[in-house]
Amino acid sequence: MKTPFITKDKALEIAKEIPTPFHIYDEKGIRENARKLKEAFSWNKGFREYFAVKATPNPFILKTLMEEGCGFDCSSYTELMLSDKVGGKQHDIMFSSNETPDEDFKLAYDLGAIINLDDFTHIEILDKLTGIPETISCRYNPGGEFKTSETGNVMDTPKDAKYGFTHEQIIEGYRLLKEKGAKRFGMHAFLASNTLTNDYYPVLAAIMFRAAVEIKEKAGVELSFINLSGGVGIPYRPGQPANDILEIGRRVKEAYEEILVPAGMGDVAIYTELGRFMLAPYGGLVTKAIREKHIYREYIGVDACAANLMRPAIYDAYHHITVLGKENAPLDHVYDVVGGLCENCDKFAKQRELPKIDMGDILFIHDTGAHGFSMGYNYNGKLRSAEVMLKEDGSFQLIRRAETPKDYFATFDFCEYSFK
């Protein structure tokens, strides 16, 4: 069973002020989860989560996470601006970007963010642009296939991924960075996405810890922090087991004590850069059933579309749907729940068993809190929706207004086709 964090009454109350569709976030859930992550890694003195801004780039969300002690992981110029605006200072900001433009490097440097280099060639580029900052990080790509054990499933294939330094490059990279004056070093790796196993972080950590020991021996560089990045997943489908973050924290600690401590590296800080795990379950897309049609399949048309939530259309991703007020009704209908884009992939659900849906019913599409609103776009002239925060005291707050046609025309403000 997946239970929405709002009731039908609450959704209707909000919809009176803020028309559907909108994304809604659960402040209480966000805070509790952030605290649990902190608890899981409380054994590590320097632990910090740098929330992956791209997952949910909303200043109100960022502020909430900052209050829980999180920093921000940015990948672009505007994400850096956003983190700065919210009050992120210096090392509160991690800059993990790739194919990085000069301006982005410059802004990250000027903000005093921790720059996480994606490639060996970026050392020279950054050195020429701004000089090498005292604190610097490198992204590691061990190549090959990533398995949770010798006999385990292949989780991903780093050798095919565009990110990071190779094993040889990273050792040479730290040597070069040290020569150029860097004083404090970090390492980052992101080897699999949306993992639904407690093995991911511990296995990744062991790979990185071993590399860290080798880097100390071969490059004479002792890392100050190891950034396990994102990738801890969430159960999108009902019945899928959730990751146990406390267990994950314990097992990363075991690897730490087995590999780093004996190498005299017992003060390395652990960082994470989670996006999905921090936000996905604590966001939902609230949308209204506005049309139905009966052809070769039964269709329910809603007022949201893939422009509001792209994951089903591009990854064929499953998002659970609850018809609010019909939580306990029998699932005796089979529908495709669709948006209005002129693309047949614009289906939030295909052949889904649901209760009978009547026009005007409010649907709650689950787990849209990360990589939901943020992947939105304006295809078919569709406008981005509002975002709403359900506060801990049960009240709600508009945290982003919906776009209007004026916003759509804003990029023509230089000519006669601008919105008048």
Q: Which is nearer to ligand PLP, 202 or 275 (CB)?
A: 275
CA dihedral angle for residue 401, residue 406, residue 412, residue 417, rounded to 10 degrees: 170
Closest Cα to residue 309, out of 367, 366, 363, 375?
375
Contact residues: ligand PLP, CB under 6 A:
52, 54-55, 73, 75, 96, 190, 193-194, 229-231, 273-277, 370
Provide, rounded to whole angstroms, the least separation between the CB of residue 276 and ligand PLP.
Answer: 4
Residue 75 or 243 with smaller CB distance to ligand PLP: 75
Complex with ligand PLP: residue 235 or 301, whichever CB lies closer: 235
Residue of this chain nearest to ligand PLP (CB atom): 230
Q: How many CA atoms lie within 13 A of 147 on its CB side?
A: 8
Report the greatest alpha carbon distance in the chain. 70
Our CB check for ligand PLP shows the closer of 62 and 370 to be 370
**Among 184, 190, 183, residue whose Cα is nearest residue 165:** 190
Under 8 Å between Cβ of 305 and 391: no
Peptide bond into 142 cis (omega under 30): no
Given the complex with ligand PLP, which of 164 and 339 has the nearer CB atom?
A: 164
Nearest distance from residue 394's CB to ligand PLP, in Å?
28
CB of 130 to ligand PLP, least distance (A): 21
Which residues are within 8 A (CB) of 327 and not within 5 positions of it... i.e. 6 or more apart? 3, 4
Residues 303 and 37: beta-carbon distance below 8 Å: no
Cβ nearer to ligand PLP, comparing 11 with 108: 108
Q: Which is nearer to ligand PLP, 252 or 265 (by Cβ)?
A: 252
Q: Whole-number minimum distance, CB 50 to ligand PLP, in Å?
A: 8
Strand partners, 352: 335
| Minimum distance, C-beta of residue 128 to ligand PLP, in the bound complex (Å) | 24
| 37 vs 86 by CB, closer to ligand PLP | 37
Question: What minimum distance in Å lies between the beta carbon of 25 and ligand PLP?
Answer: 15
Instruction: Give me the least distance between CB of 208 and ligand PLP, in Å please.
Output: 14
Compute the Cα dihedral for 17, 23, 24, 27 and give only its sign.
negative
311/400 with CB nearer ligand PLP: 311
Residue number, 51 or 396, with CB nearest to ligand PLP: 51
Q: How far, in Å, are 9, 256, 295, 338 from residue 12 at the CA level?
A: 5, 50, 30, 21
| CA atoms in the 13 A half-sphere facing the CB of 393 | 2
Q: List all residues 6 or more positions away from 204 whose beta carbon is below 8 Å from its beta carbon.
A: 146, 189, 191, 192, 228, 231
Least spacing, CB of residue 277 vs ligand PLP, in Å: 6
Q: How far is the CB of 218 from ligand PLP (least distance, A)?
A: 25
Burial annotation 41-63 (CB, 10 A radius, 16+ → b, else e): beebeebbbbbbbbbbbbebbbe
122 vs 276, beta carbon nearer ligand PLP = 276
- Residue 166 tokens read as 């190779």
| Distances in whole angstroms, Cα of residue 232 to Cα of each of 85, 139, 243 | 28, 18, 8
For the CB of residue 311, give the shortest distance to ligand PLP in the complex, in Å: 12
Closest distance to ligand PLP from the beta carbon of 275 (Å): 3
Beta-carbon-side half-sphere exposure of residue 12 (alpha carbons within 13 Å): 8
